[in-house]
Every structure is written in C-alpha cells, then in structure tokens.
Chain A
Amino acid sequence: AQSVTQPDIHITVSEGASLELRCNYSYGATPYLFWYVQSPGQGLQLLLKYFSGDTLVQGIKGFEAEFKRSQSSFNLRKPSVHWSDAAEYFCAVGSTGTASKLTFGTGTRLQVTL
C-alpha cells in the first residue's frame, strides 16, 4: 500500500529565510505527488503537483518541489518565506488507475517568526 511520511511535525523559520519541507513516499511505480497547504479553519489549497517529466516543478506562491526517485522524496522548497506562509503543509500521493483517492502525510506545521 502506498504511504507518505513527513518527518517534521513542526518547523520554525525566520521571515526571509529559505524553507525546505521533507516528504518521503512509498510506492512501487512512478507516483502522482501533490503538496497542499491548509490555513487554520480552512480547506486544502493545491500548491503544486508532479505527474511525470521534469523533476523540478513550480507551484503557486513561489513554491517549488523536486522529485527524486532514488530517494523516494518530493521535498517542498521556497527561497524566501513570508509571514503569510505560516500554515500546515501536507504531502500526498494519488492512486493509480480509476481512483481519485489521495493518501496524505501527517502534515508539517510551519511557524514564521518576524
């Protein structure tokens, strides 16, 4: 069964500093990978996705992620964090075939200090 691991439960960075959130997946074939962000009391907003092709994908709000098959990782990065980036971030893997089911990691809560 596919699974997603986000090793960091909570991360604190200073505004303007760079950010990297880790995500490792367990899946036999090429996975469909996603990063979502959730602000308090809100739903999930899609930041970016990887299906195939270029392993470095760009998303919204200045985020990017790199797919590394050899490390089974799909880490999320941002060169300069803004205070408004404080939220919870979820990595997810999509099912193959005719199913939309997403399997989520446990999330990483990002705190930004001024």
Chain B
Amino acid sequence: KAGVTQTPRYLIKTRGQQVTLSCSPISGHRSVSWYQQTPGQGLQFLFEYFSETQRNKGNFPGRFSGRQFSNSRSEMNVSTLELGDSALYLCASSLVPTGAREQYFGPGTRLTVT
C-alpha cells in the first residue's frame, strides 16, 4: 500500500506571496492532519480534516487554511507569507479521527520564504 505523499517536496517563495501544499493520504484513510516543524517551535499541530470538514485547529493565524476533497486528499494554503513561515510542513493520515489510531506521516514539504 502506498504511503502518504506530499507535493511539492521543496518550495521557495517570497514574502507576501501565497502557497498551496498538497497531501494524498494512505488509501482508505479519511482523516488528514497537518503539522508545522521548525527548529524553534518544534512540531506543532495546524489542523485536521475528516469528511471534508475541519475538525480541529491549532493556534495559528487565519493566514493558514486548508481543505479536504471527497477523495480525502487535502491541501493547505498559507497566504501573505512571512519569513517565519519557513518550515517543514508535514501531513499525516489515519483511518478515522481519534487519538487511539496510528498516524502515518508523509515526507513533508520544505518551504523557504525569502
């Protein structure tokens, strides 16, 4: 079974631009979560989607948004990019939204904002 895939793997953007990252979960998984990883803040939860609905959201500004499609694929968008948005963005999938299930992570998208 194929794992979680994320595209693109690397991105370089300029301050003020916007960016869209894509995540395809493991086949059959319906819950997708997004995390931001930075050296200073570590791994932080962004949001979670299930059945095309945002179920939970972390403590991030409204510039960070996402959506999920009927095939469970998910995208996240960051508008008006800031230098501090440079990070590794990780997507994780699980069968259903519960803490009692394994989450499987993709390789991440490395975003650099200049």
Contacts and interface: CB of A to CB of B under 8 A. Distances in A.
Interface of A: 32, 34, 36, 41-46, 49, 51, 90, 92-107
A51 B102 CA distance: 10
Contacts of A36: 105
Contacts of B90: 43-44
A101 B33 contact: yes
A107 B97 contact: no
A77 B102 CA distance: 20
Nearest to B104: A46
Interface of B: 4, 6, 31, 33, 35, 42-43, 45, 48, 55-56, 58, 90, 92, 94, 97-108, 110
A34 B33 CA distance: 16
A42 to B, nearest CB: 6
B97 A99 contact: yes
Given A43-B108, A45-B105, A95 B42 contact: no
Contacts of A107: 42-43
Given A51-B100, A99-B98, A44 B42 contact: no
Contact of A43 (B42, B58, B107): B107
Contact of B98 (A43, A93, A97, A104): A97
A101 B44 CA distance: 10
A98 B55 contact: yes
A100 B102 CA distance: 9
Contact of B105 (A41, A43, A93, A95): A43
A42 B33 contact: no
